[in-house]
C-alpha cells in the first residue's frame, strides 16, 4: 500500500511493522521512524488506529486466557508446513515474507 506521497519510510513497511510497534518490540530508532511516518501519513495513521483498537479489543476479550502449549506447537507446525517463511533483518528493520500454499481437503 502507498498513499502516493513520498516518505522516508514506505507505507508498506510501516503497515508490515505496525503490530511490532503496538507490542513495543521495535528498536528505538525504528520506532522513531514509524512514529514520524504515522505523523505524516493519514492513511497509515488510520490503519494504525484500527489495529490499535483491535489489539485493545483482543486484550479485553481474551485477557488471562492462554492456549495450551501443545496447541500452539501444533498450529506452528501446520502453519510452517503450509508456508514458506523468510525473515531478513537489516538497518531498516525486519522483513518477514510468507508465501502460502492453499491445501483443500475434501471430506
Q: Give tens-digit pLDDT for 14-72.
A: 888 888 888 888 889 988 988 888 888 888 888 888 888 888 887 777 776 677 778 87
State residue 1's pLDDT score: 53
- Asked whether residue 37 is assigned to any structural domain, the reply reads yes
- Asked whether residue 2 is assigned to any structural domain, the reply reads no
- Asked whether residue 71 is assigned to any structural domain, the reply reads yes
- Asked whether residue 107 is assigned to any structural domain, the reply reads no
How many whole angstroms separate alpha carbon 18 and alpha carbon 11? 10
C-alpha cell at 66: 492462554
Note if the pTM is more than 0.85.
no
C-alpha cell at 31: 520506532
> How many independent structural domains does the chain possess?
1
- Asked whether residue 3 is assigned to any structural domain, the reply reads no
Q: Which domain holds residue 58?
A: 11-100
- Asked whether residue 6 is assigned to any structural domain, the reply reads no
State residue 106's pLDDT score: 63
Beta bridge partners of 88: 95
DSSP state at residue 18: H
- Asked whether residue 91 is assigned to any structural domain, the reply reads yes
Amino acid at each position: 500500500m502507498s498513499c502516493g506521497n513520498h516518505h522516508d519510510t514506505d507505507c508498506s513497511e510501516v503497515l508490515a511493522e505496525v503490530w511490532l510497534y503496538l507490542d513495543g518490540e521495535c528498536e528505538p530508532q525504528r520506532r522513531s521512524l514509524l512514529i514520524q511516518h504515522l505523523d505524516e501519513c493519514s492513511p497509515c495513521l488510520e490503519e494504525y488506529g484500527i489495529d490499535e483498537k483491535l489489539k485493545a479489543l483482543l486484550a479485553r476479550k481474551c485477557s488471562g486466557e492462554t492456549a495450551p502449549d501443545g496447541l500452539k506447537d501444533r498450529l506452528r507446525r501446520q502453519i510452517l508446513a503450509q508456508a514458506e517463511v523468510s525473515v531478513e533483518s537489516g538497518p531498516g528493520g525486519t522483513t518477514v515474507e510468507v508465501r502460502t500454499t492453499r491445501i483443500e481437503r475434501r471430506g
